[in-house]
C-alpha cells in the first residue's frame, strides 16, 4: 500500500460555459481547471470535487471521459493521470428536526450514479445548478438516499458558526439530526483540530477528515490528509474511512486552529475579543460571533482522544507566509514540482536557491510548528505574527 495526499472538499465556481455554480467561488474554478491545478501545482493524488451534481458539470465530466482525458476507475472515481476525482455534492439541510442550516457532503463512485442523484435532487432543490442549496428533504431522508446509491455521507465543517452540525449553538448531539450509523466521517473545518474535536465523546467512533473547502484554486490543499491505500479509488477511500483491511488515514494536515476564521469569540462588527458567554460586544454593542474554541468547551464530554487516532499536523499554507507573493510562489512550484514537495520535502538549502533566506526560514519554521500566530475570529483569518 502507498501514501496518498487527499483533499475532499473543493468547490466549482463556474461551469465550462461560464454559468455560476458556487456563487462565492472563483470563476477559474471549473472542473477542468481544478483537476489540472490539483495534479500539477498542488501535487495531490485524490480530490473530492463538490458541486458535481450540477447538470452542466456532469456534462463536462462525461465529455472528458468520452474524449479520453479522464478514465472511470473500475472501483469508482475518475482518473486524470495519477490524480483521482471523487464526485461530490454539498447540500444544506434545514428541517424541523435539525435546527439548521447544516451543511453535509455526499460522495458517489461514478458519473452515472451522480447523474441519478442529481435527477433526484432536482425534485428537492429550487435550483439544482447551484452549490450548497437547501434540500427540501430531511437529513435522514438524504442519508438514506445517499446510502441507497452506494455513496458516502460526511457532515461538513461541523463546528463552523452559522451552517454546521454543532456551530449554530442549538444542536448538542448529532443524534438529534442524523442517523449516526449512516455517517462515514466527520469534517473538522479550519478552526478546529483533532484534540479539540475529540473533547466530544460521540465523535470518537468516526474518522476525521481535514479538507480545504476551497473557493479558489489557491486555497486547494490548505487542509488535506494522507491516506494509506492500495490505490486511489472510491472503494479504497471508503475502506480507509472505515479503517478496513489496513486502509486508514495516517495523518491529518490542517491549519493551526488559531489561523481559522472562527477560532476565537469576537464582535461581528469591530472584532473586539469577547468571552464565550458574552452575547454583545462591550466595546460597540454589536453581536458577538462565538468562536469554535468556546463552542467546543460548551459541548465537552471527554478529556482525550481515543486510542489510534491519526496525528494532526498543524500546517501553515504557503499563501500565509509573509513576503511569499503569487509570482514567487509560482517560481517555487515551477522549480520544485508541487506545493506538497515544498511543504514536506525540500530542504532549507534548496529553498534558498529560489527565495530569500528569510522566507525559506519561515517555510521551515512553519513546517516544524515554530511560528508565532495571532488568532483569527469573526470571519477574519489569523496570521503569522513573526
Give Cα separations from 271 to 24, 190, 289, 321, 386 (angstroms). 23, 18, 9, 23, 21
* Tens digits of residue pLDDT in 274-302: 876 778 888 898 888 888 999 999 999 99
CATH 3.40.630.10 correct for 2-255: no
Return the SS3 of 224: strand
pLDDT value at position 278? Answer: 78
Q: What pLDDT score was predicted for residue 367?
A: 84
What pLDDT, in 10s, does the model give residues 47-64? 999 999 999 999 999 999
Largest distance between two CA atoms of the chain: 61
Q: What is the CA radius of gyration of the chain?
A: 20
Task: Supply the pLDDT for residue 386.
Answer: 60
Per-residue pLDDT, 240 = 98
Collect the ranges in the chain with pLDDT lower than 70: 96-98, 169-170, 276, 386
* Spatial contact of 314 and 255, defined as CB atoms under 8 Å apart: yes
**Distance, C-alpha 251 to centroid of its chain:** 15
Q: Where are the domains of the chain?
A: 2-255, 259-289+318-384
Amino acid at each position: 500500500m502507498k501514501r496518498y495526499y487527499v483533499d475532499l472538499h473543493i468547490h466549482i465556481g463556474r461551469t465550462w460555459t461560464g454559468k455560476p455554480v458556487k456563487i462565492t467561488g472563483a470563476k477559474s474554478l471549473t472542473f477542468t481547471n481544478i483537476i489540472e491545478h490539483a495534479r500539477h501545482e498542488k501535487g495531490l493524488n485524490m480530490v473530492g470535487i463538490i458541486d458535481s451534481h450540477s447538470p452542466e458539470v456532469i456534462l463536462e465530466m462525461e465529455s472528458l471521459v468520452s474524449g479520453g482525458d479522464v478514465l472511470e476507475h473500475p472501483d469508482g472515481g475518475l482518473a486524470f493521470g495519477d490524480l483521482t476525482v471523487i464526485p461530490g455534492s454539498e447540500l444544506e439541510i434545514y428541517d424541523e428536526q435539525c435546527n439548521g442550516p447544516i451543511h453535509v457532503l455526499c460522495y458517489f463512485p461514478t458519473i452515472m450514479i451522480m447523474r441519478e442523484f442529481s435527477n433526484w435532487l432536482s425534485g428537492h432543490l429550487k435550483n439544482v445548478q447551484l452549490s450548497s442549496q437547501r434540500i427540501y428533504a430531511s437529513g435522514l431522508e438524504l442519508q438514506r438516499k445517499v446510502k441507497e446509491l452506494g455513496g458516502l455521507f460526511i457532515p461538513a465543517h461541523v463546528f463552523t458558526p452559522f451552517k454546521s452540525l454543532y456551530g449554530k449553538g442549538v444542536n448538542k448531539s448529532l443524534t438529534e439530526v442524523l442517523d449516526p450509523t449512516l455517517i462515514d466521517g466527520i469534517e473538522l473545518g479550519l478552526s478546529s483540530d483533532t484534540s479539540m474535536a475529540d473533547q466530544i465523546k460521540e465523535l470518537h467512533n468516526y474518522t476525521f477528515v481535514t479538507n480545504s473547502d476551497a473557493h479558489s484554486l489557491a486555497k486547494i490543499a490548505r487542509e488535506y490528509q494522507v491516506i494509506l491505500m492500495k490505490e486511489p479509488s472510491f472503494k479504497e477511500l471508503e475502506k480507509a474511512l472505515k479503517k478496513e483491511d489496513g486502509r486508514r488515514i495516517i495523518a491529518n494536515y490542517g491549519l493551526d486552529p488559531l489561523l481559522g476564521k472562527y477560532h476565537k469569540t469576537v464582535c461581528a462588527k469591530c472584532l473586539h475579543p469577547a468571552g464565550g458567554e458574552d452575547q454583545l460586544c462591550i466595546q460597540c454593542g454589536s453581536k458577538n460571533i462565538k468562536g469554535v474554541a468556546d463552542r467546543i468547551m460548551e459541548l465537552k464530554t471527554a478529556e482525550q482522544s481515543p486510542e489510534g487516532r491519526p496525528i494532526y499536523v498543524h500546517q501553515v499554507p504557503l499563501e500565509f507566509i509573509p513576503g511569499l507573493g503569487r509570482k514567487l510562489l509560482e517560481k517555487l512550484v515551477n522549480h520544485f514540482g508541487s506545493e506538497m514537495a515544498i511543504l514536506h520535502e525540500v530542504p532549507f538549502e534548496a529553498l534558498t536557491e529560489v527565495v530569500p533566506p528569510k522566507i525559506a526560514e519561515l517555510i521551515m519554521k512553519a513546517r516544524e510548528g515554530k511560528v508565532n500566530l495571532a488568532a483569527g475570529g469573526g470571519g477574519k483569518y489569523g496570521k503569522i505574527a513573526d
